[in-house]
Amino acid sequence: MIQVSRPKIAILGAGYGGIMTAARLQKEMGSNEVEVTLVNKHDYHYQTTWLHEPAAGTMHHDKTRIMIKDVIDMNKIKFIKDTVVEVKPDEKRVILSNGELEYDYLVLALGFEPATFGIKGLKENAFSIRSVNSVRKIREHIEYQFASYNNEADRRDDLLTIIVGGAGFTGIEFVGELAERVPELCKEFDIPRDRVKIINVEASPTVLPGFDEELVEYGMNLLERKGVEFRTSTMIKEVTEDGVILGENEEVKAATVVWTGGVQGNSIVANSGFETNRGRVPVRKDQRTPDYDNVFVVGDCALLINEEIDRPFPPTAQVAIQAAGAVSKNLLNLVRGKELESFTPDIKGTVASLGKGEAIGKVGNKKLYGSTASAMKKVIDNRYLFMLGGPGLVWKKGKLKLF
């Protein structure tokens, strides 16, 4: 019998974009039609959109993790736990830390990394919320500072000062969780609450730039009541070992600085020679790179233009999940010699959590506040789990207590 080799599809990264592409392919591909390989650094997928919670210590990090074998059928899709080092698109090869991979079709889904905008000392001295490992470190670090405070002869206040750079969605959601966690830490380590400072620094004149003004006001008032200090229209000039230098050379001493002020596409993509803009590939309407007909990009590594306003769509899980549906379809269209379809994100809304039981958001034209918005956020999270792993995964990992 002659064994005909099947077209090889490689998916790099098992975040929202990568794992959903794999999950859709395993449902839609014919048996023996294609050979799909998924590569990821870890043997688990994590919910990036929840990472502000374990970073502050209000959720255990395991809750954000889903074992890849629990949602991907390893008989249908080959999984390689390894780190991507480089892609060689002209040779259709991927270099991994422990080997190599050949492909006919490729999906780049390697996610984001912090954008430092050239701020001095940021990379070396600030934490970032980007993976399970990075947030475990933030949580441990903050707890260590609180544990140290009463052991120091001079009770240094900077040990209890947390600076969060950036007041976009990640920054606001993180200070919301910190405002929940700090009273618990104070109780645990015998520290008066008024010694602790949570300072959110933002270069724009407002937090959540571009978001509905009424919702922003609600959110800021609520967080200020919970003890968050906002420093808007303020640039972080430098991050040092001792804290930050702001605007006109004002030094604020802080043992913890967390940067949430911007993201860019994973630098492996640009370093592999793909055309990028802030690390993101300006993809064609069918999600392929401008230069390679066999390479698709999904999630935060892709730059998609919202033609209604002629500006890029912000990189979100919402867009990554939708794009994964389009990419899996187009991969099979390409293999089957069919025409490729165009993809346009359909933005259903945005909800930002502000700590336990509180959120703000817009779904369609409807503004949501407080516990209703918070319940909606949990419904959105549970919906994703349902799409990925059905009711069993919602039961195991979902946020079941809505109010």
Q: Enumerate binding residues for ligand FAD (CB under 6 A).
A: 13-18, 39-42, 48-49, 51-52, 83-84, 109-112, 129, 131, 169-170, 173, 266, 268, 299-300, 315-318, 320
Q: Which is nearer to ligand FAD, 106 or 245 (CB)?
A: 106
Say which residues have a Cβ less than 8 Å from residue 311's Cβ, sequence separation at least 6. Answer: 305
Say which residues have a Cβ less than 8 Å from residue 150's Cβ, sequence separation at least 6. Answer: 189, 190, 191
In whole angstroms, the minimum distance from the beta carbon of 127 to ligand FAD comes to: 12
Q: Which is nearer to ligand FAD, 84 or 159 (CB)?
A: 84
| Chain residue at closest Cβ approach to ligand FAD | 15
- How many other C-beta atoms lie within 10 A of the C-beta of residue 308? 7
* End-to-end C-alpha distance for the chain, whole angstroms: 61
Positions of E strands within 109-168: 112-114, 127-128, 161-165
Q: Which is nearer to ligand FAD, 22 or 320 (CB)?
A: 320
In whole angstroms, the minimum distance from the beta carbon of 230 to ligand FAD comes to: 18
Does residue 96 contact residue 39 with C-beta atoms inside 8 Å?
A: yes
- How far from the centroid of its chain's Cα atoms is residue 289's Cα? 22
Nearest to 90 by CA among 269, 325, 273: 273
In whole angstroms, the minimum distance from the beta carbon of 271 to ligand FAD comes to: 11
Go through the chain and tell me how many residues it has: 403
Q: Which is nearer to ligand FAD, 173 or 286 (CB)?
A: 173
Q: Which is nearer to ligand FAD, 246 or 270 (CB)?
A: 270
In whole angstroms, the minimum distance from the beta carbon of 289 to ligand FAD comes to: 15
Q: Tell me the three state secondary structure of residue 13.
A: coil
* Cross-strand pairs, 78: 37
In whole angstroms, the minimum distance from the beta carbon of 302 to ligand FAD comes to: 8
Give the Å distances, CA to CA, from 357 to 135, 136, 214, 369, 375.
Answer: 22, 23, 19, 10, 8
Catalytic one among 173, 177, 202, 358? 173
Q: Mark whether 173 is an active-site residue.
A: yes
Could you list the active site residues? 173
